[in-house]
Copies of this chain bind each other. A is one copy, B any other.
Amino acid sequence: MNFDSIDNAVLDHRVKGIPGGVAPFRQGDIGRKGWNVLREDMTLPLAVLKDSAITHNSHWMRDFLMRSHSVISPHGKTSMAPQLFGRQIEDGAWAITVATPQQIQVARDFGFSRIVLANQLVGRQGVRYVLEELRRDSALDFYCLVDSEAGVAMLAAAARAANVGRPLQVLLEGGAPGGRTGVRDRETGMRIARAVKAAAPYLALRGVEGFEGLLAGASRAETEALVRGFLDLLVDLARDCEREDLYAPGEVILTAGGSAFYDMVLARFTRAGLQRPTRVVTRSGCYLSHDSSRYRRSFADIVDRTPEAAAGGGLVPALEVWAYVQSRPEPTKVLLTLGARDTATGDDKPVAQTWYRQGMAAPLPIGPGHVVTGMNDQHTHMAVPADSPLAFGDMVSFGVSHPCLTFDKWQVIVVVDDAYNVVSAIRTFF
């Protein structure tokens, strides 16, 4: 892992947050600027990551996984910030998960050597690049998904033609009816797994994968029942492949788990009952930043199901976006300088948390009744109580919901200490 290219990258005022007219400077020097967010040393809107919260969450997940003897391959697509991938690996992550060829390329450029593409590998350039990397770097340990015989045939033909000297490792993907990718039934799964084995030594079946995060029932109990049923399908697929001896040599990988149900994944997969050594890999991308809405609720459910998750205080939100009050055109309405270009929106609107005005000792919690009602590209509409203190020029901090769709709105995110001093910055690659 080498982040010199990020530290040496030039930041200038074309980047959101960097004050106008500042001479371009090395990103690695941002902590020496003496900037403080509350003092308005940077422009708003501004996304900030709280250093202490990131550290806390990273250690929480390390401890949680240790207790279950499993590992994590955090989904890098959440942040696409190699510096955060690095912290995750330092705290014991087994691999980095990504979703696209471009994301593989970013992870490779920064020296990550075990990569799970939690997706089909498709397209001339993506397939070519992965095979070239497998040839070039014997330390690369790469996995991708298959869910169709057509996909297996394409990968097999490409791997045969490239002849890189070792197999391309694949995981059989299970899916849910009406859901996303992945085989819907065991029979289809076996046809595909057999096709993988038939493509040896160019392909190697290394395990079974699924993503349960989109399953949604009418109630929490119904959703959890759907998740349990889906995990059962994945375990059945894994056992079927073992029974037919379709796996390549080595441990079998069982992997599932977004950021909402990883406790259930761990509980099910660690008692999958395979004969062969099994590596259980979860893939939450959002635990590191956590959030203030969607995954805050998911985490409450995790603690409810799995009380030991409350150890150490559980996860805390690390990502905030700050904006100014630009208008209060009606007594119960405030507009802020923040929009769909800056955070997730739709069902994942940001949540007002604190406010600050020059001269105050510290930000104050925002009172009840301050609710984001809508977002345009560059504006946020917020309903406020008639006696809200907010006025033109005040600063408001927002927690986010679904951090993936906030990270991707920022090329650079500053890291702050608990007093909002800027200590460093991460760069994203979307």
Contacts and interface: CB of A to CB of B under 8 A. Distances in A.
Interface of A: 12-21, 40-45, 77, 99-102, 104-106, 108-109, 119-120, 122-126, 128-130, 132-133, 147-148, 150-151, 154, 175, 177-184, 214, 324-330, 333, 335, 337, 340-341, 345-346, 376-379, 381, 391-393, 404-405, 408-409, 411, 429-430
A102 B151 contact: no
Contacts of A21: 105, 129, 132-133
Contacts of A148: 327-329, 392
A-B pairs, top 5 by smallest CB distance, nearest first, are A20-B129, A40-B124, A150-B392, A99-B378, A181-B327
Given A20-B126, A150-B393, A430-B409, A102 B15 contact: yes
Given A102-B13, A341-B430, A393-B150, A181 B326 contact: yes
A105 B43 CA distance: 11
Contacts of A181: 326-327, 329, 335, 379
Contacts of A15: 102
Contacts of A404: 377
A345 B340 CA distance: 11
Contact of A105 (B14, B329, B340, B345): B14
Given A43-B123, A43-B126, A335 B180 contact: yes
The residue among A99, A346, A405 with the most chain B CB atoms within 10 A of its own CB is A99
Contacts of A20: 101, 104-105, 108, 125-126, 128-130, 132-133
Contact of A429 (B14, B77, B340): B14
Given A181-B379, A330-B177, A404-B377, A337 B122 contact: yes
A116 to B, nearest CB: 14
Contacts of A376: 180, 214
Contact of A393 (B154, B326, B377): B154
A322 to B, nearest CB: 10
Q: How many copies does the complex hold?
A: 2
Contact of A151 (B126, B147, B392): B392
Contacts of A12: 109
A324 B120 CA distance: 10
Contact of A125 (B40, B123, B130, B183): B40
A120 B108 CA distance: 43
Nearest to A110: B14
A120 B327 contact: yes
5 contacts: A20-B128, A99-B377, A120-B392, A147-B327, A154-B393
Nearest to A213: B376
A120 B336 CA distance: 10
A337 B129 contact: no
A405 B184 contact: no
A175 to B, nearest CB: 5
A330 B184 contact: yes
A14 B430 CA distance: 8
Contacts of A128: 19-20
Contacts of A340: 405
Contacts of A132: 20-21
A76 to B, nearest CB: 11
A325 B40 CA distance: 47
A122 B324 contact: yes
A378 B16 contact: no
The residue among A17, A126, A183 with the most chain B CB atoms within 10 A of its own CB is A126
Given A20-B126, A148-B327, A393-B154, A378 B43 contact: no
B430 A41 contact: no
Contacts of A109: 12-14
The residue among A17, A214, A379, A392 with the most chain B CB atoms within 10 A of its own CB is A392
A175 B333 CA distance: 13
A32 to B, nearest CB: 18
Contacts of A105: 13-14, 20-21
A16 B147 contact: no
A100 B105 CA distance: 32
Contact of A175 (B102, B329, B392, B393): B329
